[in-house]
Amino acid sequence: MSLRESPFENLRVPLGWSAGGALVIAIALAIFLLLSDRSEADEPGHASVRSGFEAGAAPVGGVFAAPVRWLGQISDYVDDYFFAVSENRRLREELASLRAERDAVVALRNLNSQYEALLGIRVEPNVPLVSARSVSEARGPFRRARLIDVGRDRGIEVGNPVINEHGLVGRVTGVSGSVSRVLLVTDVTSQIPILVDRTDARAIMRGDGSGNPRLEFVRGNDSVEVGDRILSSGDGGLLPRGLPIGVVARGIDGSWRVKLFSDRGAIDFVRVMRFDNFAQLADGSTLDSPPLAGLDTAPPPSPEVVARIDDAQGRRRAEAERRAEAERQAREREAADTRARQAAAQAAAAREAPAQTAQPPAADGATE
């Protein structure tokens, strides 16, 4: 049977009765609340009524207070969530700014390290150095060159070597007023005479456009090994001797190649060696002087030097005599041992001879 067919479908409660019932309930609750709020000192007779009211109102109050408590907890949770979101956003922004500052500090630290390394370069022989910055790079299938921000106004000339804090970078091949072009050692037209630090073997380092130049015309079979240090030889007068270049490695094609020291860091800052040729390293008059000019003017040796020379000669003579005596005694001992072995062999042969074939005593005596 549906609700429409229920016998209570036509039952209607008058609106006035409903309002009156609600009013009575509200008045009763108000009376109870007033009674519960009165002190026991003023009305001792109401103590039992108040106790009963509190016993019955406590569960009801807990039921009505629970939603309020839950709403408070939800409100606190929502407040904490939005606070966490805003705090997370603020921390992210602060972290981003700190990362930018950190990157700037790291970049400045690296730049300062490069400056310190460049300023600490000491070359032998002592050649004037000019600091420069790489401003652009020309790169192609075989071309390897850079432009630096110093030129003829700083005394730069064609042929000057260029180095960084790790080793040789290249040579100056073009100069203008304030800019110079540097041909890197990896360019196909670069050819540098080098030497192997371990064996002093000579070779030519030729660029081929790759990052590791090739070693050609290596003299000797065992003159080069993997890991050998490569330096400039100074042959031909183009570069000073002893500039660090790299270490030897085997290429995938089996050829000897060089891992460049200059590739250990970015080539941003370099130093140009104002080096022309070997004539600037020594006085020409000194080089042209006869090598044996001062031999005829050497002073005579002092008595102490003469005594040391005589003492050394005496020790050598004594050592020679001692060796000769030891050899003579060894020869005598060897001769004595030989005679003893011969006598023992003859005695053994005499004992083994048969008695019936023994020779007459006279013959034996003659033989002896």
Contact 214, 256 (CB under 8 A): yes
Let me know whether 39 and 147 are in one domain. no
Let me know whether 76 and 182 are in one domain. no
In a domain, 7, yes or no: no
Q: Tokens 């630290």 map to which residue?
A: 109
Contact 292, 146 (CB under 8 A): no
Let me know whether 178 and 88 are in one domain. no
Let me know whether 234 and 105 are in one domain. no
Instruction: Tell me which residue range forms the domain holding 143.
Output: 129-278
In a domain, 11, yes or no: no
Let me know whether 140 and 244 are in one domain. yes
Name the maximum alpha-carbon separation found in the chain. 184
- Calculate the CA 83 to chain-centre distance: 45
Let me know whether 134 and 270 are in one domain. yes
In a domain, 336, yes or no: no
Query: What pLDDT was estimated at residue 129?
Result: 86
In a domain, 77, yes or no: yes
Contact 255, 214 (CB under 8 A): yes
Q: How many domains, in total, are found in the chain?
A: 2
- How much is the average pLDDT of 286-303? 55
**Residue-wise pLDDT tens digits, 226-268:** 999 999 988 887 888 888 999 999 988 888 999 999 888 778 8
Instruction: Cis check for the bond before 360: say yes or no (omega within 30 of 0).
Output: no
- CATH classification at residue 258: 2.40.10.340
Considering only CA atoms, which of 180, 196, 286 is closest in space to residue 247? Answer: 196
Let me know whether 170 and 231 are in one domain. yes
Rg (C-alpha) for the chain, rounded Å, is 55
Select from 278, 295, 324 the last residue of a domain: 278
Helix (H, G, I), strand (E, B) or coil at 326: helix
In a domain, 330, yes or no: no
d(CA 368, CA 363): 9
**Residue-wise pLDDT tens digits, 94-109:** 888 888 777 777 777 7
d(CA 220, CA 273): 32
Query: What pLDDT was estimated at residue 12?
Result: 54
Let me know whether 145 and 55 are in one domain. no
Let me know whether 182 and 258 are in one domain. yes
Residues with Cβ within 8 Å of 152's Cβ and at least 6 positions away in sequence, in order, are: 175, 176, 177, 178
